[in-house]
């Protein structure tokens, strides 16, 4: 423990066991070089409340396996996001105890180490169309791993707005709302106009042509005329969940 | 008349009055050259149902006055669009009988030559915020000049969606709807999800930052998840009115 | 019925059967909650005149089959758009009675439930080059499913403008024109300068380099100097057909 | 008071003082059309916790004065944002009791109606450079009007990162952090890597050339490698404050 | 032959062999609908000096074969551009007498119908790097098919500018210069600063990252500080050759 | 003369007058250093056929006056382009013998030094709308200064295409066509489909919204489906004239 | 001094004058909170070799005066960049001893505190056109303030490339080259192809239309086909000078 | 050896063994056309200090083999960059003595001809995340081939900034720093704020959505608020190494 190490050093000086010059050279670079901490940021959980997570997109199965194997020995739930089907199967075959969630493209391990009940209330995860569900699910699973309760309301886009009104109880009850939409990305504005809870908006790459892979939805969300909306990167269900966990934390 | 000219030529050849080589050179370029049409497109009204209109943006007061003066002698209503306040006053001072509409930035003359009752039904002009009203008014005045009935519903944006529902009678009654919105441009999608009438969507440059002068709203409208929406250029209330007049024409 | 429900509530208070506090909590969220509408928007046909259609792009064959199977039991024609060849074959193999239109990439079922003769007149579908035909066909088939008559004029782009003039009868007869073009997207401007009917312009992704997948054509269409043009998303033949059906509706 | 008005009405019915039909007609449009205030959304405070605010950017002094005068008679603090110096002076000269905050470009009225102590904790407002201060101040004043405590840490950008570390107590104590930065927009990533609290990131238009009026900063913030960040529109200090108020609400 | 057909018709009328009405109906659609070839624009060669060419990019082998077969019976050289290797082989296997040029991705037929010696002088085709050669070759082969002489100077980009100076004789002798470059696209500016001949600049998609598929090179060329440069679409060797042929025509 | 210098050097070595090391250092940098050329590129006329021209946009009246004064003593016509009205008056007041062309924003001096009759034929300058005329005039005046004959056809845009057909004689007679258009920029495609002459297309910044200051027109022109078109920068009438002069040169 | 403070603390512990707990709390945040250092980063000079500089663009004369006054009491040269003429005069009038450089838009004070002779060699500052000179001068003055020798070569753009070759001695002698260019931004590529020294490229906003305020030049420079080039922001002569000073430092 | 060849020639003249005319013809094209190697720029090493390198991206294995074979007979190390795994294996199988570095995607040959110890000091290569390593390795290997010492510090991104501080010794010791980062690209700003050495920043295409293939990172780096940063193209580890080699050269 950092503090322990520091205290020991100071007590050593105090006791005369450690010379000032020796302590000087030890302390000069501190708290930067903390021996033993590789660049795998095990410290992050303490600092930010969110453990290190494997970003699977640009990694090979072999790389994911290697990192996951070492993380499985740690004290936290293990997550790898953006793992496609093929890699997901390969990793789970190599490391027993992992489970792969195809729609959310997430691998989960050390599930028993999830600490439940981290939230002040329920998180509502709302999405506009069925094609937005994978991104919404990425958010849901991440929240569950972080110990937050989730309730889903899917396929409630603005083209048939009564479907949204049918979710009124959830909209009013949730302490935070994640709203996921592609195409024209109008849903977060409408939702934020109806509720008191903060809305974390997630544009998705669903659409074509001038959807520009989610940019149209993103721009709509950033320009929301309803206050109480903030936005994350396109398709970033994971990031929305982290933001939401930070908001909802007891 | 084209056909007459052609027939005459052929009969000339048939009669031996016109040599083959002479006819050859005459026909080689045909059907391109139709003499007699000046560049002031007086013919447009006949062809497209919409008279020539003065686009005032890049023209000086002097230029507008000169063109308007000549058009006032014609058989149609005279309109100049995108005329700022200063130019509007100057033009109206110079040419009695013109009236300047400040909010819509339109000059109208020959008002008595408007032929009323051109539409199959009423046009609904809906806008999201008060800042969108000038563009909506440009559409309304244009429609009135083209002889169509208009009913307005302003400031009914999605951030307080009950305001829109209060307009349900208009939404259901109109044969065409013009929906004007800036910022996230979500209103046309919501409206189109509620009605059978075609929706002509007009993005406005209202907003800031990532609104990019109306591009965010435009992109939202082009990506509308509700069918029955088509879009015109940013701030183009005039164009929306022309499209609507063509749609609504008896 | 909303009004009935409300009246009943008020009468209950008036009669002393319902306490003020109970009514307060009931009315606070009103008029939002209208129970009973599932998220499959069967109500859409009633509201907007256009039945729910399966957007096949991001769906697997299995998903399309499942949705189509349930919709085949309904009262309307069944359509799935943006279905590639492979998925098209798979779906039609699984569900007898469906037909796959390869060029238009559309699956059609319940064809006998198409209600013909919905239009005020004939729709003209015009395209600039042979590569634009798939998008034009998506529009044509959609219109046919919605009960509108269609006449095609293909490969009449501006580089050989006499080809367009040969279609003058169609241009003049149609009540609405869908004009499809890629590359420089100039055709809608030229057509709109010739006719009274409204022009629904569809940019296509045909082209390369600075065509930017249809953006060049889109921008040309939005900036049309001819009035009476409105635009839909790139390659969105389906959307153009819906807009057109709304316009052309008797 | 909305709730008071509603309760009074219901009690009137209950007491037999108000007839059902009379109440029907009163409630039918409710909560949309209340008396003379057109579409001014007085109901918003109840729904979303944030009162209607005047967006001053596109409004004339006269328009702001007119709206502010009517709102001053209401029950809430009155705010007008994005009011430049000239308009600010004009409005305050016309309506005694308003105060203009030059740096934040905000007008405040009915200050005595601010309800203090709305937050679960203190909000930290951090900005990177001195040029970002106006946006940060817009956020601070908005939060104060909404009843939240604010502590500022300004000019702590990443080019001299020890300045940020000097704010560690605030970073660790705040329940929410608003982080404002222009140019390369790196500050939110660094802050979010240090804290557990959610970070609401605000890109500013400070910079030049490839800063593209805040787009570079926006993109950096959307791509933050640190989880727990969400973003609002460029220069949108008001929006960040609303999001933060929703998050921090008791 | 167009002219022949027309002359024959006129002579038939003149001789009294063809009735005026018969000729009327033949000529009314002329030069648009000639016999069975739908809208294939055989008239283009007369109008613009450049025969119809098959754009192979979006066409299947089958489509190319069908069109090429019919064009082979015409009076002109047959060209198909942007034909990839696989399609090239398939088409040449199906239609003997065609030859496929792999690097230029062009199929040529009716080679004996090329009319040589169409140019006022030699065309210089210069390219910056070896990766630009395919585009340069598309230009060269097109020019050869149109009857113009070509001399090549390849791999003479500005990073080793002495290589360009070694081509000074060609630069000074050519009546037109086609300059092909990707990456920073600087070569046309340098060349145009050295010569009197017009420079047709062709940006290529060679590069990566901020090359944006040729946009960087295109923008450089459009902003050339040297007068006497005009630009065609990215990778459009064919278009550059057509422009050049029009310039160089005797 | 380069060759003379080189030969002298080699002969010096051969004769033993120059040491190898001395020659080494002389030759190492060769062929780069050619002394004697000041940075005012008086040599340009010889090299490229186009004299140095003052680009007035970013220069003060004082700077223009100073440069023009020195150039007036030279052997060529003096031109300054992009000179606004105010600067134009100031410069002409300071230097007698200059004339300012307001519409074209060009100053001309040494007019008697224009060498007429430089062209192989007449240049046609065609523009789409009246707002495009300043750019067209910049091209016309530049051509006249370079000694080429010009014929204008203005306001012949595609929205009333018969106006263009009325210019058939010019289109067919011109050896080069400059086609100027803003908004959707469709005119060059249509013109190029009608003629044999090369078309130099000039996009203008006329338009609004998605015209993006001429980018829409530029993109349309670069994507022209008609061969024989090349494009210059937005509003670059001067550049189009230089390209055209190079093409048309005897 | 940091080290002194630390050593004192440690010696205090060693001597028993400071308790471990007291030291703990002092050291816990270290080296973040160094008392006495306001956010004016006086420490920067030590860390990065470049003193804090006032970025004048978004600051009022009053703000610049206030900051400059306090910095004049320090040990370093005082610089304010991007100060327009009006502000420059106001600041210099208020604070005697400052001098304003109009073209470079820079204010300099404490000139006697410049430490000369910081560089390993001479820096060459090369620019393409006369309009680029202000940016080049910003770089030159900054370098002089940082103690580096500068030699200029202006107006040597690629349209007349012999002008560049005339600068060969400078190009070969300089230890670093700053190359400034707008429009097509080709100069850095050509220069980097000729020399061994590193090239720091500065795009300028000189140009129009598709120059996009310097983006075209920037993209050209980033895509340079010649190795040994790196780029700074548009118009960022100051940044180029700082990079160069770091490179050239003895 | 270039210099050797030249010296030999000159000595030949001096000795009277070579005639002036013979030497003239040899030297006229020099240093461009040397024997059979077309435009392969063997002279580059002399001019710029960096030998010609094979850009493998757009070349086939066959092309790389052919060029590499000829270069292996030269005097320099042979490098091919951007060679994917498949091509790498094929080339190495064909030409013994080459080695393929998979992560860096580089082929190296003539390794014994690397001249070590070219640098004034050590180069630090720092990258933000593990996905950035391939680009960082491209830089490292290139530097090693150019004879510079390299020390790596990988996976030290700003989300856990203590990891960066742990590298302080390297940051302070290096004469030049290459800083590689994707996503928000914040690392170069932070590093440049800590050190005196020049920072060559390399954006990578790591990220998704609004990362836009590295554009977000690029823009952040160009807008760095810390002086002493210059930027190369996205993923351009090779270019960063060349710039660094030029900076670090003794």
Distance from CA of B193 to the nearest CA of D (A): 20
Hey, is the C-beta of B51 within 8 angstroms of any chain F C-beta? no
- At A10 the pLDDT is 75
Of the partner residues D7, D13, D16, the one whose CB lies closest to the CB of residue C10: D13
Hey, is the C-beta of C12 within 8 angstroms of any chain B C-beta? no
Neighbour count for residue B36 (Cβ, 10 Å): 7
* Out of A8-12, C35-39, F186-190, least confident range: C35-39
Hey, is the C-beta of A218 within 8 angstroms of any chain H C-beta? yes
Q: Write down the mean pLDDT value for chain D.
A: 88
Contact A208 C235 (CB under 8 A): yes
Residues of E in contact with H57 (CB under 8 A): 131, 208
Of the partner residues G165, G172, G206, the one whose CB lies closest to the CB of residue F34: G165
Q: Assess whether the previous peptide bond of F31 is cis (omega < 30° from 0).
A: yes
Higher pLDDT, B42 or C50: C50
Beta bridge partners, H178, equal: H125, H200
* Per-residue model confidence as pLDDT tens digits over H12-35: 877 888 877 777 655 644 443 332
Hey, is the C-beta of G13 within 8 angstroms of any chain A C-beta? yes
* Out of B29-33, G118-122, H239-243, least confident range: B29-33
In this prediction, residue D20 has a pLDDT band, given cuts at 50, 70 and 90, of confident
- At B74 the pLDDT is 85
* Per-residue model confidence as pLDDT tens digits over E127-155: 999 999 999 999 999 999 999 999 999 99
Distance from CA of C172 to the nearest CA of A (A): 31
Residue of G nearest to H44 (CA): G193
D102 pLDDT more than 70: yes
Handedness of CA C148, C153, C158, C159 (dihedral sign): positive
- At A45 the pLDDT is 73
D174 pLDDT more than 80: yes
Q: Which chains touch G (3 or more CB pairs under 8 A)?
A: A, D, E, F, H
Task: Give the whole-angstrom CA distance, residue B35 versus residue B43.
Answer: 13
Of the partner residues E193, E194, E246, the one whose CB lies closest to the CB of residue F196: E246
Hey, is the C-beta of E146 within 8 angstroms of any chain F C-beta? no
- At G36 the pLDDT is 31
Q: What is the ipTM of this complex?
A: 0.84
Contact A224 B184 (CB under 8 A): yes
E36 pLDDT more than 50: no
User: Which of G181, G207, G220, G231 would best serve as a mutation to test chain E binding (most E beta carbons within 10 A)?
Assistant: G220
Task: Give the whole-angstrom CA distance, residue F237 versus residue F243.
Answer: 10
Q: What is the DSSP string of H114-164?
A: -----BSSPEEEEESSGGGHHHHHHHHHHHHHTT--EEEE-S--GGGTHHH
Q: What is the DSSP letter of G227?
A: S
Hey, is the C-beta of H156 within 8 angstroms of any chain A C-beta? yes
Hey, is the C-beta of A168 within 8 angstroms of any chain D C-beta? no
* Per-residue model confidence as pLDDT tens digits over E39-51: 556 567 767 777 8
SS3 letters for E87-120? Answer: HHHHHHHHCCCCEEECCCCEEEECHHHCCCCCEC
Hey, is the C-beta of D164 within 8 angstroms of any chain H C-beta? no
Distance from CA of H205 to the nearest CA of E (A): 8
Q: At what angle do helices H20-28 and H2-14 cross, to 10 degrees?
A: 160
* Out of B72-81, F186-195, F202-211, G11-20, least confident range: G11-20
Of the partner residues E224, E231, E242, the one whose CB lies closest to the CB of residue F228: E242
Residue of B nearest to F206 (CA): B58
Residue of E nearest to H205 (CA): E209
- At A26 the pLDDT is 61
* Per-residue model confidence as pLDDT tens digits over G199-233: 999 999 999 999 999 999 999 999 999 999 999 99
What residues contact residue G91 under an 8 Å CB cut-off, 6+ apart?
G61, G64, G65, G68, G80, G83, G98, G100, G107
Higher pLDDT, G47 or C89: C89
Task: Give the whole-angstrom CA distance, residue D12 versus residue C246.
Answer: 47
Planar angle of CA G28, G34, G37, nearest 5 degrees: 155
Residues of D in contact with C16 (CB under 8 A): 14
Question: If residue C200 lies in a helix (H) or strand (E), which one and from where to where?
Answer: strand C199-203
CB contacts under 8 A, F 73-112 vs G, are 82
Q: Tell me what the mean pLDDT of segment E176-180 comes to.
A: 98
Q: Assess whether the previous peptide bond of E31 is cis (omega < 30° from 0).
A: yes
Task: Give the whole-angstrom CA distance, residue H204 versus residue H218.
Answer: 8
- At B33 the pLDDT is 33
Contact B166 D43 (CB under 8 A): no
- At D46 the pLDDT is 65
Distance from CA of F140 to the nearest CA of C (A): 24
Residue of A nearest to B226 (CA): A159
Q: Tell me what the mean pLDDT of segment F76-102 comes to.
A: 95
Q: To the nearest whole percent, how much of chain F has pLDDT over 90?
A: 70
Neighbour count for residue D114 (Cβ, 10 Å): 14
Q: What is the DSSP string of G139-191?
A: HHHHHHHTT--EEEE-S--GGGTHHHHTTHHHHHH-SEEEEEE-TT--HHHHH
Chains E and H touch (3+ CB pairs under 8 A): yes
Contact D223 H209 (CB under 8 A): yes
Residues of H in contact with D190 (CB under 8 A): 158, 161, 186, 190
Q: What is the DSSP letter of D160?
A: G
The size of the E-G interface in CB pairs under 8 A is 113
**Would you say the pTM of this structure is higher than 0.80?**
yes
* Per-residue model confidence as pLDDT tens digits over B229-244: 999 999 999 999 999 9
- At D74 the pLDDT is 85
Contact H196 G226 (CB under 8 A): no
Q: What is the DSSP letter of D122?
A: P
Task: Give the whole-angstrom CA distance, residue D163 versus residue D153.
Answer: 10
The residue among H75, H117, H77 whose CA lies nearest residue H97 is H77
Residues of C in contact with B200 (CB under 8 A): 230
Q: Count the helices and strands in chain E (H runs, E runs).
A: 11, 9
Task: Give the whole-angstrom CA distance, residue E16 versus residue E20.
Answer: 9
> Residue B77: left if φ>0, alpha if ψ -120 to 50, beta else—which one?
beta
D108 pLDDT more than 50: yes
In this prediction, residue H3 has a pLDDT band, given cuts at 50, 70 and 90, of low
Task: Give the whole-angstrom CA distance, residue G240 versus residue E48.
Answer: 51
Sheet hosting strand H54-55, strand order edge to edge: H54-55, H78-81, H106-109, H99-101
Hey, is the C-beta of A213 within 8 angstroms of any chain H C-beta? yes
- At H41 the pLDDT is 60
- At A155 the pLDDT is 93
Q: What is the DSSP letter of A211?
A: G
The residues of chain C scoring below 70 in pLDDT are 1-6, 24-44, 46
- At E24 the pLDDT is 64
* Per-residue model confidence as pLDDT tens digits over B92-135: 999 998 999 999 999 999 999 999 999 999 999 999 999 999 99
Hey, is the C-beta of E161 within 8 angstroms of any chain H C-beta? no
Hey, is the C-beta of F23 within 8 angstroms of any chain H C-beta? yes
Planar angle of CA A29, A34, A39, nearest 5 degrees: 115
Contact B27 E10 (CB under 8 A): yes
Higher pLDDT, C10 or D144: D144
E170 pLDDT more than 80: yes
D33 pLDDT more than 80: no
Buried b (16+ CB within 10 A) or exposed e, E68-79: beebbebebbbb
Chains B and H touch (3+ CB pairs under 8 A): no
φ, ψ of residue F57 to 5 degrees: the values are -50, -55
F41 pLDDT more than 60: no
Contact H23 F16 (CB under 8 A): no
Residue of H nearest to G229 (CA): H243
What residues contact residue D118 under an 8 Å CB cut-off, 6+ apart?
D146, D147, D148, D245, D248, D249, D250
Distance from CA of G56 to the nearest CA of A (A): 30
User: Which of E160, E213, E246, E250 would best serve as a mutation to test chain F binding (most F beta carbons within 10 A)?
Assistant: E246
Higher pLDDT, A24 or B198: B198
């Amino acid at each position: 423990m950092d503090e322990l190490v520091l205290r020991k050093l100071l007590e050593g000086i105090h006791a005369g066991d450690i010379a000032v010059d020796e302590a000087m050279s030890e302390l000069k670079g501190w708290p930067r070089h903390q021996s033993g901490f590789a660049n795998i940021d095990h410290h992050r959980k303490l600092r930010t409340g969110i453990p290190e997570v494997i970003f699977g997109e640009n990694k090979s199965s072999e790389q994911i396996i290697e990192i996951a194997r070492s993380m499985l020995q740690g004290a936290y739930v293990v997550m790898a996001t953006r793992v496609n089907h093929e890699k997901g199967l390969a990793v789970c075959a190599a490391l027993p105890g992992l489970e792969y969630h195809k729609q959310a493209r997430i691998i989960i391990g050390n599930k028993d180490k999830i600490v439940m009940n981290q939230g002040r209330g329920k998180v509502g995860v709302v999405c506009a169309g069925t094609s937005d569900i994978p991104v919404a699910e990425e958010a849901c699973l991440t929240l569950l791993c972080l110990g937050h309760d989730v309730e889903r309301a899917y396929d409630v886009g603005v083209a048939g707005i009564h479907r949204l009104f049918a979710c009124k109880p959830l909209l009013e009850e949730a302490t935070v709302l994640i709203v996921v939409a592609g195409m024209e990305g109008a849903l977060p504005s409408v939702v934020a106009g109806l509720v008191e809870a903060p809305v974390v908006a997630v544009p998705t790459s669903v659409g074509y042509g001038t959807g520009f892979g989610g940019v149209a939805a993103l721009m709509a969300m950033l320009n929301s005329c309803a206050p109480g909306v903030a936005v994350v990167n396109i398709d970033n269900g994971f990031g929305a969940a982290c933001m939401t966990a930070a908001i909802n934390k007891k």
